[in-house]
């Protein structure tokens, strides 16, 4: 009985120490948590400079055919770490921070439209010695992935499009209505409270992240506020539709039915533009399926890729 009491006391002491660390040193706790998630996914942090003087920071791991995963607006490479845990045993993963986001270069006067971002990613891929790849992208990342496939159709073997942007002829989303009516953008975070609201806005089934860790994560967005404001304006004026109509690259289109950022009605419009596409609607899920339901998202993608192999 005494041993049981000692064990319980040690567990309680450990929990108290952990909570204390969370509030006293949230930066260290957040960094440790991200590092652990990356290791569990088999991903290592890497950097590479390009001839134009810019640099990419990216995660890489796994073996097999190359799958590049592209994060969305205001996000970074770690948006794909949870789903990568279920994919890195099947594929060689490359998960970059886009230029303008995360730890990659943030040139103030650069062109941040999707074609320019796709061209930069092409330079990255070439620098890594890769000639063929599969592309996955969330939101803005899906928009960029589609443009990439249109620009380099012989190099892209398939597309995984998670609530992608760029189909602006679709019915207006809740986000578009809010911006139109209030001139306030819920995706921009000027302070910690704003970031917490953004986090709640983009997901219906978010992973639990303690508020001190959210506040640490917010700092990157707060520092990037002015640049992101400009990028959002360029992005929403940049349609993918003229590029992708009739694009024959096999594509899996995934949409959260509760997406408040981009209308879920967009899925069928996009499906009509891509003749070799299929659609999966995810009930109860918001704008970020790979964060809200990482295992289900990975399983659906693995089935899609298995179907491609059977066709070949």
Report the Cα 251 to chain-centroid distance in Å.
17
User: What is the C-alpha to C-alpha distance for residues 39 and 60, in angstroms, rounded to an integer?
Assistant: 11
- Judged on CB neighbours under 10 Å (0-12, 13-18, 19+), 162 is buried
Q: What is the DSSP code string of 214-271?
A: HHHHHHHHHHTHHHHHHHHHHHHT--SHHHHTT--S-EEEEEETT-SSS-TTHHHHHH
What is the SS3 assignment for 6? helix
Strand partners, 135: 68, 159
CA end-to-end span of the chain, whole Å? 64
Instruction: Specify the 3-state DSSP secondary structure of 85.
Output: coil
Q: Give me the sign of the Cα torsion angle 105, 106, 109, 110.
A: positive
Residue 129, SS3?
coil
Structure tokens at 53: 């003087």
Please give the positions annotated as active site. 71, 139
Nearest to 219, CA basis, from 194, 184, 246, 186? 194
Cβ–Cβ < 8 Å for 133, 156: yes
Neighbours of 273 (CB within 10 A): 17
Tokens 């803005």: give the residue: 140
**Helix (H/G/I), strand (E/B), else coil: 200:** helix
What's the maximum distance between 2 C-alpha atoms anywhere in the chain? 73
CA distance 153 to 253: 18
């Amino acid at each position: 009985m005494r041993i049981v009491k000692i064990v319980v006391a040690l567990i309680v002491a450990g929990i108290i120490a952990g909570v204390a660390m969370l509030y006293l040193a949230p930066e260290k706790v957040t960094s440790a948590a991200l590092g652990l998630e990356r290791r569990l996914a088999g991903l290592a942090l890497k950097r590479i400079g390009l001839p134009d003087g810019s640099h990419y920071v990216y995660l890489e791991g796994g073996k097999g055919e190359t799958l590049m995963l592209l994060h969305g607006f205001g996000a970074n490479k770690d948006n794909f770490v949870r789903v990568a845990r279920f994919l890195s045993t099947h594929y060689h993963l490359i998960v970059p921070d886009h230029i303008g986001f995360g730890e990659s270069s943030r040139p103030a006067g650069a062109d941040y439209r999707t074609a320019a971002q796709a061209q930069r990613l092409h330079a990255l891929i070439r620098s890594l010695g890769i000639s063929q790849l599969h592309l996955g992208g969330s939101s803005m990342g899906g928009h960029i992935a589609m443009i990439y496939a249109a620009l380099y159709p012989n190099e892209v073997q398939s597309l995984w499009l998670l609530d992608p942007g760029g189909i602006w002829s679709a019915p207006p989303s809740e986000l578009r209505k809010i911006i139109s009516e209030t001139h306030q953008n819920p995706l921009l975070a000027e302070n910690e409270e704003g970031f917490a609201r953004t986090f709640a806005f983009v997901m219906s089934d978010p992973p639990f992240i303690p508020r001190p860790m959210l506040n640490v994560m917010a700092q990157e967005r707060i520092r990037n506020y002015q640049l992101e404001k400009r990028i959002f304006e360029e992005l929403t004026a940049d349609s993918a539709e003229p590029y992708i109509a009739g694009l024959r690259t096999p594509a899996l289109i995934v949409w959260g039915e509760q997406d408040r950022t981009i209308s879920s009605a967009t899925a069928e419009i996009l499906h009509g533009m891509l003749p070799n596409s299929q659609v999966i609607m995810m009930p109860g899920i918001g704008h970020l399926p790979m964060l809200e339901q990482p295992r289900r998202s990975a399983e659906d993608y693995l089935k899609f890729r298995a179907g491609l192999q059977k066709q070949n």
